[in-house]
Amino acid sequence: MELRHDWTVAEAEALIARPFHDLLADAQAVHRQTFDPQVVEAAILLSIKTGACPEDCAYCPQAARYDTSVEPERLMATADIVAAARNALASGATRFCMGAAWREPTDRQVGLVAEAVDAVRALGMETCVTLGMLTPDQSHRLADAGLDFYNHNLDTSPEFYGKVITTRVYEDRLDTLANVRDAGVKLCCGGIVGMGESRTDRAGLLVQLANLRPHPESVPINLLVQVPGTPLYGTPELDPLELVRTIAAARLMMPASVVRLSAGRSQMSDELQALCLHAGASSVFLGDRLLTTPNPGDDHDQDLLARLDTELAVTDLVADEDHPALTGATLVTVSTSAAQIRSTS
């Protein structure tokens, strides 16, 4: 297992194009060097401020300029966020992710989110937020509140980016990643496939991620969820095996990062999800919603994971009187996180 930060697009594209079974065999072998293949990390994502976003991301139903079914909602109260986090904890999630549809939050808004981060972290859960672009001072404010991860996806390659988003440039995203990293917060950074991009663009996205130093601790790979009213609705669907190839390449290029099978699972067959997990994905979102789009739901996920002889991971939580919802749950303790392994490499 080699950690590199000098990948080229040609190398990444050749990796994705390798003979399918060879690619998956190597990805699974690398996966086993850092992760238990019978364990999957679980997170829950909550939209804490919905809709009315001024951006023009062509995939997003929360953009104010698109006519979708999403109704704008104000920032949730901290007490309501904590109540949702408790429910997430009871479902077996170890990470609670909070998303707000902002282009760039105000300092006051960041302060309110920081209060929620502090309260959720007190439950014993890892915390992650996605709020749009951040300044250095805002990044430090969230770090001081105990934020574990900041999600800020690159979405796609620099070359394809302008066909999806015009209200901010690629460098804006990289600047926010640098601000968050400088504040000491871990990165959750990935992208979306199935937006009409080429394999070269998928390789370009992986190169941007893998050449960050250090690699993002968490790498979500999203399959486009086509929402009526958004510009990408009606885009020809991606070959499902291309998603598997992309995940396998991500595992090989970022061997110690947690690769998360994210949006789009509700439109995937169980067999496709199993292949993605075999290719190196080691994390999923639980629940029946991801921000404003559908997700399979706990019952379906529990059934699928049971059929795959796979358990949910818990890192720091202990099933005791402080966390009664965990008592008797099918959870295993993972003694060393991927971030710890990578940081000592």
**Which residues are part of the catalytic machinery?**
53, 57, 60, 97, 128, 188, 260
Instruction: Give CA–CA dist 82/104, Å, rounded.
Output: 23
Q: Is residue 338 within 8 Å of residue 315, measured between CB atoms? A: no
Peptide bond into 214 cis (omega under 30): yes
**Cα→Cα distances 255→21, 156, 164, 219, 243, Å:** 18, 20, 29, 11, 17
Q: Which helix (H) or strand (E) holds 126?
A: strand 126-130
Find the distance separating the first CA and the last CA of the chain, reported in whole Å. Answer: 10
Instruction: Give CA–CA dist 180/266, Å, rounded.
Output: 31
Closest CA to 250 of 278, 286, 221, 217: 221
Instruction: Give CA–CA dist 334/145, Å, rounded.
Output: 25
DSSP string, 192-258: EE-SS--HHHHHHHHHHHHTSSS--SEEEEEEP---TTSTTTTPPPPPHHHHHHHHHHHHHHSTTSE
Contact residues for 67 (Cβ-Cβ < 8 A; gap 6+): 229
- Output the six-digit token pair for 171: 């460098």
Exposure b/e, 37-62, CB count within 10 A at least 16 = b: eebbbbbbbbbbbbbebebbbbbbbb
**Cα→Cα distances 5→71, 216, 319, 322, Å:** 42, 12, 39, 42
